[in-house]
Structure 1
Amino acid sequence: MNDWRDPELGESREVRLPSGRLRFHDRGAGPVIVFAHGYLVNANLFRKVVPLLAARFRCITPDLPLGAHTVPVDRDGDLTPPGVARLLADLLAELDLREVTLFGNDSGGAYSQLAAVAHPERIGGLVLSSCETPEDTWPPSPGGFGLLKATAANPVTYRALYQVLRLERTWRWRNTYGWLAKHPIEARVMNSYVRPVLERADIRHDGRKAIGSVSARYTRAAARRLVRDFGKPVHLVWAAEDHVFPLAHATRYARELGADLHTVEDAYTYVTEDQPEAVAKLVTGCLAG
């Protein structure tokens, strides 16, 4: 199993939360940004942007229990969307973080929206980055990602689905990572994403629970509450060429939220992978404003 994390993420630490243990990385000082990734990636997704922000911000990058982690939560840990949102809130409480900006990418943006409306007390704002909007399904329909939830109903079909990821050439298929990262991701990072779900039953158990319980009803309900009740800064940072979460959806959602929408050129969903300098500049500007 590949448990490598880029040293640029900072110090690796572990905490015990109500749902189980959680590994995270901590670098920098100043206002706090907590980065939330999506399914079948981990903190390495932010390895390029953290060093660009750490001079001005404290950057916390957890390995959420979404299939590419190495520290499983408790066997009965709640990994439904509200459960993962609670896990994010529990992390902020455990570290006594306040006025936190949650940066959520891909389904990390969905969990961030749920956390913001259900547990707003330590959250000072949101940066939603190429993620679920009220117009998107969860899992998203483009690319065939709905199959991830369908196969999670059974441990045999779930395990079988991922065996193709043993072959490096499959990593660029549109229904794996090809529509998520415009530019190829280095093999060391990719192995940190795919090896845990291929090699460990306890990680597959967590991954099945997480992806098997997602539904757009959660994000649509959270969006209604964000528009109505949140009252804190929200910024959207979106890939201009996003195949999975269309820019048109983000444009309409930003209008409903009264939020600024910033686009990132030459990037797909994983904007911090494809264009970290542009994202760092946008985030710095958003938070300074």
Structure 2
Amino acid sequence: MTNIPPEGLEEEIPAARRRLASRLRELRRAAGLSQEELGERSGWGQSKTTKTETGKTVPQLADVEAWLRAVAAPAEVRDELRDLAEVALSATSSWKREHSRGLRRNQLRYARMEQAASTIRIYQPGIVPGLLQVGPYARRVMALGNPSGQVDLDDAVGARMARQDILYDEGKRFEFIVTEATLRWRPGPPQLLLAQLDRLVSVSTLPNVEIGIIPLGVEAVALPHHSFVVYGEPEVDDEVLVIIETLAGELTERDNDTVQLYLERFTRYRAAAVFGADARAVLSRVAAETNGFVDQ
């Protein structure tokens, strides 16, 4: 079990999401409907209504429309709720804000999302994903990505290492796609990269983990764009969301159409990647070349 403190598993619900949940609850009550009755009118169970009203899940636009029909909401209210839903489904947060309370807290936030998802898909064209990093590599990466100079670097690295326990939960599935260029990016001495490559070889043998590598010599199937993580499996998890990292901050997308766009893009990257023994052969080749720099 991942050794994450309980406070790290509590979700901080954004303002737009809280407002949407509150307004939907108010409309249901004003219409004199129970949660069960609203679910019956809208075509879903009471559990979905409860999770929506508490902000645990963000309703899709189609669900909001069904809710509004069930409570016979007037036109001006419908416009208000649609606007709220669109904002709640797509949230942007700057790194300045995310890091303002320390780097460790951000790691605990990721841990919460990882524990809630049955499947996690990660595409990373630049650096080794955090769930696969060794401690010294993680420390260098986090130091480079700490422009605000937060002082809890040690605690943050420890939290990132603790997150990795979840890789051994065979009830979850992990799919990683990285480029060969990712394997060659070196945030420290050659010995650090060699240790990181060895870690990738080891994790690639876990039964619930797939590490795909897109070799440099493979013809491109899509533009590389940016890194992203898809948390959850459609039709399995209550909610599927995408986290997209940019230079300035982080974008969270919950809209089904947007999620599907990223799932399709992940499938295209996956088609260009090699796995298993072929992936380990790429790792061995990169390690052999890196080893040549050790004494230089």
**TM-score, normalised on structure 2?**
0.34
**TM-score, normalised on structure 1?**
0.35
Structure with bigger helix share is: 2
Larger Rg: 2
